Every structure is written in C-alpha cells, then in structure tokens.
Structure 1
Amino acid sequence: MATGSPGHITCWALGAVVLLQHREGGGGMGQCLRHQMHWEDLEEYQALTFLTRNEILCIHDTFLKLCPPGKHYKEATLTTDQVSSLPALRVNPFRDRICKVFSHDDVFSFEDVLGMASVFSEQACPSLKIEYAFRIYDFNENGFIDDEDLRKVVLRLLNSDDVSEDLLTDVTNHVLSESDLDNDNMLSFSEFEHAMAKSPDFMNSFRIHFWGF
C-alpha cells in the first residue's frame, strides 16, 4: 500500500474500522461480584445510548469478565490496556487514540465502555460518529486536524514503515485540497464534518458489530 496513489486515500477514508468480534470464554481474569443488572438500570442505559438491550447485556457480561474481583460493576474500572487488548482493538492502528478519547484518567467505567460501544453502534447518528472521529484523529488535541495529525493518520492507515516522504506529503496535500475549504492547511471540525457527510463509506466503517471476547 505504501506505493499506492494518493488519490486512493481521501479524507473520508480516515474512518477507522473497529470491528469487535464476540468470543466465548473467560481466561483467568478476575470477575466482579455477579450482581445482575436491575431492570430499571437496563431501561435507563437503553434510553441514554443507541444500544439494544441485548447489546447492553453483552457488554455487561464482557465487563464482568474483565473487571477486578470483589467490586460491583458500577464501582469497578478497566485499564486502557485491558480495553485495547480486546481482539479487534488489539490490531486497530488507532486503538490508543480510541482509548484516550473514551476513557477518563486512563480508566474505563462501565458507563465509559457503554458510551464507546454506543458511538460505534450501527444505530448511532452520523453527527455523533463524526464528532468522535474528529477527536480521535486530532492527535495533538489542538482542535484541528492539521498537517501533523494527517501525517500520523496516513502512516497508521498505510501500516508500513516504508513510506517515502514524497508519498506522505502527496497524500496529506490531496486530503487538504479536497476538504480544506479556507486553505489554512488544516481541517476545522466543520470542514471535517462536511467531508464525512459526503462519504458513503464512513457510517459503514465506523461501527462495531459485536462487543466481547
């Protein structure tokens, strides 16, 4: 891929594919106290997210298998290492940024995990997905996707150490020429949103089909 044409990587191709596949079984990790989720809590989580009841219960089961022993799931937290070790995130080139954006102080509460799964669900609205995609690609967190951010995104998407400086420059320039409407060499949120809204592939790529082992 490192030798491909820059035209093959458009701005909307920056959508990270996060496909978490379900796998049965535990694996020697501690478990929370097996408190069942109250019906009222399940109803509230469903009202506040884009997740179905079955998806919420699946996430709950996964969380129980990963969290420390002896704590109720509402009080327990997971480390970013635990979350990034989930099968699909483990090989995702943006797993560190995804964990950074959705965690708080580098740990995940159950509600943090629910929030992440909700954003990547098929039912989540485009505006929410675009908002979080922008935050993930804003590596230096300056409120823009600038040349520095774009270069990092392209390098991760190409997944190769053998990327020439010329190709890297050509690709980032191509993205900016398509989407940088005010010609300031960076993408504001509104410019990024405009580019993503025109993408037929973004909604399909920025989603989770299953959450679990």
Structure 2
Amino acid sequence: MGLASSRLQPEELEDLQSISNFSEAQIKTLYSRFKHLDKDNSGSISIEEMTAIPELAMNPLANRVVAVFDADGRNEVNFRQFVEALSVFSKSAKRDQKLNFAFKVYDVNGDGVIDGSDLFHILKLMVGSNLTDAQVQSLVDQTILEADVLDKDGAISLQEFKRAMFNADLENVLMIEI
C-alpha cells in the first residue's frame, strides 16, 4: 500500500479516507509517522515497534490494544490496518466505534463476551501487584454481577458493556491529536 514509494497514491488516500475518520492531511501525517516506526522498511510495524510508541509503552493495556490492531494475528500491522485501527481514536469517531474497540480490548479470548477470565486478565494488567488475586477476583465478580443484567449468563455481552459504559467519557479518553 504505497510503502514502496515515499508518497501515497491518490487512490490509496481515497481508500484510506473511506475506511477511517481521517482527512487526507491526517492520513499523510500518519503515513510519515508509520514510515518512521517501520525501522526495517518492511511495510509493516512489528508488535515490538508498536509497543515502543511512547504513548502506548506507558499504558498497561498496550499489548491488548496492539492485539486489537493486529486483527489477523500476524504480529505485525500494515499501514491500512494502522489507519483503520487508529481511526477509532480520532475526534470524529463515533461513540459506538469507541465502545466496540474498548470491548475488543477487554474480550481477551475473542469469543464475543467478556467473561470472568477476560476481566481478571485485564484488571490484573491494570492493577499489577497492588491488589491480591483474591481482591481482583472480588472486583471481577462484582463487575459481572452489576453489568450482566440483560441475559444473566455470567458474562458481559457487547450490549451489556455499552449499557455499563453509558456515562463513560470515551470521547476524550479514547482520542489522539493528529
């Protein structure tokens, strides 16, 4: 996707605009950043290169975010995937896009629900050794009890997640300036 050249072609720009919330100028800026991150000029960014991004490196959920970016599980992200994934962080991204992204970050095993093991994993990443496993499990149990209100199946569905996140300020939390 244009990575062999130093510039994106007009049809590539048009395609990238159609799959994202970015303007042509923002895509060009992202392309420049992508090329800088692509140290080996392979046309993709490895998981290691992604997690070296300072804003991601200090996030305890960095590996989960990168895993969502790497939708095909190849341990690398090409420029199209990069733009598509970052699009959720743009100012013009819809709240629903942000909620779907956040849900995927929490759905560690990718089975379409956030169950106890998914939530335990995420909370453990977030709190580290500040809480015991028993305390984390207590938080997991309480969270699922409070959020699993529609089907009461012991897991949080996307619909239940969106309901539980009703008051969350995702528009400002999940946003980057480009």
Indicate whether the TM-score tops 0.5: yes
Structure 2 CA distance for partners of 1:70 and 1:194, relative to 1, 3 Å: closer
**How many equivalent residue pairs?**
173
Residue of structure 1 in register with 2:63 after alignment: 96
For residue 46 of structure 2, what is the aligned residue in structure 1?
Answer: 79
Which residue does 2:78 correspond to in 1? 109
Runs of 4+ in 1 over 6 A off after TM superposition: none
Q: Is the 8 A contact 2:148 2:156 kept in 1?
A: yes
**Highest CA radius of gyration, 1 or 2?**
1
Q: Which consecutive residues of structure 2, in runs of 5 or more, have no partner in the other structure?
A: none
User: Contact 1:34/1:64 (CA < 8 Å) preserved in 2?
Assistant: no
Per the alignment, do residues 70 and 206 of structure 1 end up closer, same or farther by CA in structure 2, a change over 3 Å counting? closer
Q: Match for residue 52 of structure 1?
A: 23
What is the alpha-carbon root mean square deviation over aligned residues?
Answer: 2.1
Q: Which runs of 5+ in 1 are unaligned?
A: 1-31
Question: Cα deviation per residue 1:17-76 (whole Å; 9 max; x = unaligned)?
Answer: xxxxxxxxxxxxxxx6552222343233223210122221111001122325666xxxx1
- TM-score by structure 2 length? 0.85
More helix by share: 2
- Match of 1:23? none
Indicate conservation of the 8 Å contact 2:60/2:125, yes or no. yes
Q: In the alignment, what sits opposite 2:177?
A: 209
1:171/1:38 CA distance change after superposition, 3 Å: same
TM-score relative to the length of structure 1: 0.72
